[in-house]
């Protein structure tokens, strides 16, 4: 990945697959000309938005993030483009409501959204803010909320969920082999004292997960911390909801790109894209019946991975899976 301008010099975060994302979205942005509306649905540190603003000097970029700290820092970063950058504090699956509630945002998106990016999961900036509790490498309060102003914390989950619910989220969201065993250990330990800090949880996981697995399966806390973060922030539910919402908001010829870092996210995107690109014509007919042709087409063959050079330049790119789709018709009737 090219390291240019203050994308890395001042802020330290290199956007994953910046050039490939731009390549996938560029035709839709170019076709829209000076009316192009780009939505960075996971603003984070603002690296992708900065690249869009620099590469497309007539486009307007809407930056969406549920994390008020990230939104504030990215807005400061993008001050040189303040005439073309519009920050929005919201969950990305609430974007349609945000557009309806804000007259300026409604005007920006009046002719539809031409390009949308979803860089899923926790941002590197959030991981670097150790007091947020996302990282297992340092002791911190068990919070993990992307929006610290609302919702339950990871400590709430650990201290109040029943054994079966804990086991379910560890297995489903963390793909943890020892989900039941970990849930049992948590229930026993919280009877002594409620969980408050990440260090105590990490210590419990080291004691619970067998040594052979610890030696070969990566950090023993990785899967549990992922599962807690997904549960606290309802990440997979938000992702499932936002795809039909954005499909409806896209202008004809508009494109959206999803960057997933875990298999659970990628499966949701894959399944949703399959539904959007499927014909509604009954099987066996030689051609699509009127009104039944798919209204979207895939832009990527399967999921694209980062190249070895990209991973060498930016290790965060190693697990990424990229899928992109284009809206080909005005006939799609999603959930506005």
119 known ligand binder: yes
46 annotated to a ligand binding site: yes
3-state secondary structure of 329: coil
92 is in an annotated binding site: yes
**Nearest-angstrom CA–CA distance, 16 and 284:** 42
Q: Looking at beta carbons, which pairs linking 72-76 to residues 24 or more positions away fall under 8 Å?
A: 73/45, 73/46, 73/125, 74/43, 74/44, 74/45, 74/46, 74/49, 75/46
**Residue 254 is assigned to a ligand binding site:** no
Q: Is 262 annotated as contributing to ligand binding? A: no
Helix or strand holding residue 185 (H, E) = helix 179-192
Q: Which residue has the tokens 């009877």?
A: 191
291 is in an annotated binding site: no
Tokens describing residue 279: 């014909």
| Contact (CB, 8 A) for 190 and 158 | yes
Check whether 164 is labelled as a binding-site residue: no
Whether 151 contacts 141, CB under 8 Å? no
Q: At what angle do helices 163-174 and 222-233 cross, to 10 degrees?
A: 100
Q: 96: which residues sit within 8 A by CB, 6+ positions away?
A: 245, 248, 249, 335, 336
DSSP letters, 128-177, are: H-GGGS--SSS--BS---SSTTSS--HHHHHHHS-HHHHHHHHHHHH--T
Indicate the annotated binding residues for S-adenosyl-L-methionine: 46-48, 65, 92, 119, 126
Indicate the annotated binding residues: 46-48, 65, 92, 119, 126
């Amino acid at each position: 990945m090219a390291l240019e301008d203050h994308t890395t010099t001042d802020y330290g975060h290199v956007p994953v697959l910046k050039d490939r994302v731009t390549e996938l979205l560029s035709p839709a942005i170019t076709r829209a000309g000076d009316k192009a509306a780009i939505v960075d649905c996971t603003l984070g540190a603002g690296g992708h938005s900065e690249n869009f603003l620099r590469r497309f000097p007539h486009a307007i970029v809407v930056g969406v993030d549920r994390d008020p700290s990230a939104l504030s820092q990215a807005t400061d970063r993008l001050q040189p483009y303040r005439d073309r950058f519009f920050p929005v504090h919201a969950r990305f699956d609430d974007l349609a409501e945000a557009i309806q509630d804000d007259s300026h945002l409604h005007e920006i998106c009046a002719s539809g959204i031409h390009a949308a990016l979803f860089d899923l999961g926790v941002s590197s900036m959030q991981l670097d803010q150790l007091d947020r509790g996302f990282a297992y490498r340092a002791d911190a309060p068990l919070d993990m909320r992307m929006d610290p102003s609302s919702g339950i914390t990871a400590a709430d989950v650990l201290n109040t969920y029943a054994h079966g619910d804990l086991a379910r989220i560890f297995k489903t969201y963390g793909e943890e082999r020892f989900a039941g065993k970990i849930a049992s250990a948590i229930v026993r330990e919280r009877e002594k004292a409620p969980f408050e800090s990440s260090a105590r949880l990490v210590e419990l996981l080291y004691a619970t997960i067998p040594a052979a697995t610890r030696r070969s399966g990566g950090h023993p806390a990785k899967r549990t911390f992922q599962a807690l973060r997904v549960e606290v922030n309802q990440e997979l539910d938000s992702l499932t909801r936002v795809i039909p919402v954005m499909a409806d908001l896209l202008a004809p010829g508009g494109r959206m790109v999803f960057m997933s870092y875990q298999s659970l996210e990628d499966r949701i995107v894959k399944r949703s894209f399959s539904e959007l690109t499927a014909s509604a014509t009954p099987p066996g007919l030689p051609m699509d019946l009127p009104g039944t042709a798919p209204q979207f087409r895939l832009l990527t063959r399967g999921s694209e991975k980062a190249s070895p050079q990209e991973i060498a330049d930016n290790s965060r790119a190693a697990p990424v899976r990229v899928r992109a789709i284009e809206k080909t018709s005005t006939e799609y009737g999603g959930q506005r």
